[in-house]
Amino acid sequence: MDLAKKVLLGLQADDFRHPLDLEATTTLKQIPGLDVAIRSLLGSVAEEFFYVDNIAASVLVSDKQLPSIHQLLLDACKVLDLEPPQLYVKQNPVPNAYTFAMRGKKPFMVLHTSLIEILTPQEIQAVIAHELGHLKCEHGVYLTMANIMVLAANLLPVWGTVLAQSMQEQMLRWVRCAEFSCDRAALLATQDPKVVMSVLMKLAGGSPTLAPQLNLNAFIEQARDYDSFSQDSLGEMLKTAQTANLTHPVPVIRAREIDRWGSSFEYQNILSLRNDNGVKKDDVQGGWRNW
């Protein structure tokens, strides 16, 4: 583990949760019985399906299997103060990673081989930490519901009712907001904004041959250009229409958010309150204590 990184013992989700995530989560929690319904109706079925699929068609990472990736997981978990979930690597041509955590079996995450191929080890750790952010923020229940709603919208005509469409829009808005919190978790684990922004750049336009040629500074300038496009009502309308049905915010906006948060007092305060061993400074007693 990089000795320069600070371990964040006692880190809580609300220490870094993005305000939009908090707002959207609060809105979902106001829907009576939604949390219980998702756990009861979908949890066991989805859990068994993914578990069997992972065991049968993916590689379980461990100290004996892809040990370098396993160490990236352990180090990120140590920084974020989390128990390591299972990590699988799956052959897939679409660069992606995802997390599942409902109940019963151990939480797990999956990395696609095509994503690993375009990233450096530090960037792979940023992706792992992003997925750990879902666990830290306890996003698992609503993530499952959002994914199933997206699938149902494509398969079931009845899902086109006004009520169902409204629920889907709320879930998609929530999952986009949740991604901002998880990007912050990635920054806390890597403690280098450029690493996280580089991942986003490669997700936007990377490939095994193009990734080494990409220019991060130019990508950050691109994010600023995207911002300036909303100076008039037409630009804002087009941007809203572009993102309405997405499960993730567009990469340039995520990069902009990390660039801002990485230089914020809030982020610096999380790191500065701890020494190199992850122990929080005790301002009252003038010493150190476990947080």
Q: Give the active site residues.
A: 131
In angstroms, how far is the first alpha carbon of the chain from the final one?
A: 21
- What are the tokens at 207? 């490939």
Report CA torsion sign: 279, 280, 285, 286: positive
DSSP E strands: which ranges in the chain? 59-60, 86-90, 97-100, 108-112, 280-282, 287-289
Residue 140 phi, psi dihedral angles, 5° rounding: -55, -45
Closest CA to 139 of 86, 106, 101: 101
Residue closest to 219 by CA, chosen among 190, 198, 196: 198
Residue 166: exposed, middle, or buried by beta-carbon count in 10 A (0-12, 13-18, 19+)? Answer: exposed
Instruction: Report the SS3 class of residue 287.
Output: strand
Query: CB 286: neighbour CB atoms within 10 A?
Result: 7
Question: Whole-angstrom Cα distance, residue 161 to residue 127?
Answer: 36
Write the CB contacts of 88 (distance below 8 Å, at least 6 apart in sequence): 54, 58, 59, 60, 61, 108, 109, 110, 111
Give me Rg for the CA atoms of the chain: 19
